[in-house]
């Protein structure tokens, strides 16, 4: 393989890249892969989730700037590139009935308007592989669902010379994956490992809610070994200081337990234009010299 491989991860908000697939990206960067995070929105309507920063009027008034700086810090930690698609956070509607989404937000954009900047970025960066969210968004945030929608549309359109004229030369990515890092199987394995060691697990309520729901397990097709990059993942996540409580459940499972019990980040292969055998341990499986665009 003479051409540098390229991976694009499409995410809804700054911080999503650090909680979904961050160790995978860092592992590929270390192997010489060119990795780009496409961030759909600025996260302007995200709540301040770190109790230590709540109530700070300057942060609240400058949240867009704060989250952009946090993204830059996380990007440097992971060693990736990053581009903004430029849309405005939709917020997470709460209440019964749910309030309408804010006018002009990402989730209310016409599909063609929302897809165009991603097609432009794909044609500029020319990724061989893309990652995004499944049709449920991973969880039903309107921006996550919209991220799925535009990722699927852009994957199809970027290689079509008649689609989105004026956005660059056509480029067809070869594979597209859904992030599936928070699976019930993984959570139960970590929960059991904590209990076996006499440690308190943070997952009891989470597992109970899952068992009571009608949520079906997703198919995990691809497990990328990346345990040695879990520390970088956590550092990148902590760089999003407004979004992450450093004393919260994200960090209660010791890294040595995570590495011994579940040393991979997991994905669901959604589209592939190359031959590959499942299960995989590499997002670039099947992408050989004879199928890589020159």
Q: Which tokens belong to 241?
A: 């200081």
Looking at every residue in the chain, the average pLDDT score rounds to: 95
pLDDT grade for 293, boundaries at 50, 70 and 90: low
Residue 279 has pLDDT above 70, yes or no: yes
Enter the DSSP assignment of 250: G
Higher pLDDT: 293 or 165? It is: 165
Q: Is 144 annotated as a binding residue?
A: yes
Confidence label for 170 from pLDDT (cuts 50, 70 and 90)? very high
The whole-number pLDDT of residue 294 equals 47
Residues whose CB falls within 8 Å of the CB of residue 110, separated by 6 or more in sequence, listed in order: none
Q: What is the pLDDT of residues 4-40, one digit of tens each?
A: 999 999 999 999 999 999 999 999 999 999 999 999 9
Q: Virtual CA dihedral for 153, 110, 37, 285, nearest 10 degrees?
A: -10
Whether residue 17 contacts residue 37, with contact meaning beta carbons closer than 8 Å, is answered with yes
Q: What is the mean pLDDT of residues 272-294?
A: 89
Number of H helices, E strands in the chain: 10, 7
Residue 16 labelled as part of a binding site: yes
13 has binding-site annotation:
yes
* Predicted TM-score (pTM) of this structure: 0.95
Residue 176 main-chain phi, psi, to 5 deg: -135, 135
Which carries the bigger pLDDT value, residue 3 or residue 44?
Answer: 44
What is the C-alpha R_g of the chain? 19
Q: Mind giving me the DSSP string for 190-219?
A: HHHHHHHTT---TTHHHHHHHHHS-PPPPP
Q: Locate the domains of the chain by residue range.
A: 6-181+220-272, 184-217
Q: Both tokens of residue 63?
A: 């949240």
The answer on pLDDT for 216 being more than 60 is yes
Measured CA distances, 208 to 141, 190, 214, 238 (Å): 21, 15, 12, 27
* Averaged pLDDT for residues 234-257: 95
Residue 1 has pLDDT above 60, yes or no: no
> What are the pLDDT digits (tens) for 105-134?
999 999 999 999 999 999 999 999 999 999
**Confidence band, pLDDT 50/70/90 cuts, at residue 2:** low
Is the pLDDT confidence value at 163 over 80? yes
Cβ contact 261:190 at 8 Å: yes
Q: Does domain 6-181+220-272 have CATH number 3.40.50.10320?
A: yes
- For residues 222 and 281, the answer to whether their CB atoms sit within 8 Å is yes
Helix axes 230-239, 63-78, angle to 10 degrees: 160
């Amino acid at each position: 393989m003479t051409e540098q491989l390229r991976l694009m991860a499409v995410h809804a908000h700054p911080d999503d890249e650090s909680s979904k697939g961050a160790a995978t990206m860092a592992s590929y960067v270390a192997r010489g892969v060119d990795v780009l995070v496409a961030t759909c929105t600025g996260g302007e309507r995200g709540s301040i989730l770190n109790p230590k920063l709540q109530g700070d009027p300057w942060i609240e008034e400058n949240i867009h700037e704060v989250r952009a700086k946090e993204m830059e810090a996380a990007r440097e930690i992971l060693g990736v590139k990053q581009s903004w698609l430029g849309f405005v956070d939709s917020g997470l509607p709460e209440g019964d009935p749910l309030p309408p989404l804010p006018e002009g937000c990402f989730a209310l954009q016409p599909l063609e308007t929302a897809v165009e900047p991603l097609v432009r970025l794909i044609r500029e960066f020319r990724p061989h592989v893309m990652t995004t969210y499944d049709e449920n968004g991973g969880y039903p945030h309107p921006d996550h669902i919209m991220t799925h929608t535009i990722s699927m549309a852009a994957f199809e359109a970027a290689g079509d010379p008649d689609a989105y004229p004026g956005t660059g030369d056509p480029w067809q990515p070869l594979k597209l994956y859904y992030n599936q890092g928070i699976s019930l199987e993984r959570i139960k394995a970590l929960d059991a490992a904590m209990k076996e060691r006499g440690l308190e697990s943070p997952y009891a309520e989470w597992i109970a809610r899952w068992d009571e729901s009608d949520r079906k397990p997703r198919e995990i097709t691809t497990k990328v070994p990346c345990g040695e990059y879990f520390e970088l993942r956590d550092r990148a996540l902590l760089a999003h200081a407004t979004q992450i409580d450093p004393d919260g459940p994200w960090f209660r499972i010791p890294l040595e337990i995570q590495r011994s019990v579940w040393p991979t980040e997991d994905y669901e292969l959604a589209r592939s234009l190359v031959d590959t055998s499942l299960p995989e341990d590499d997002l670039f499986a099947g992408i050989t010299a004879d199928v890589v665009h020159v």
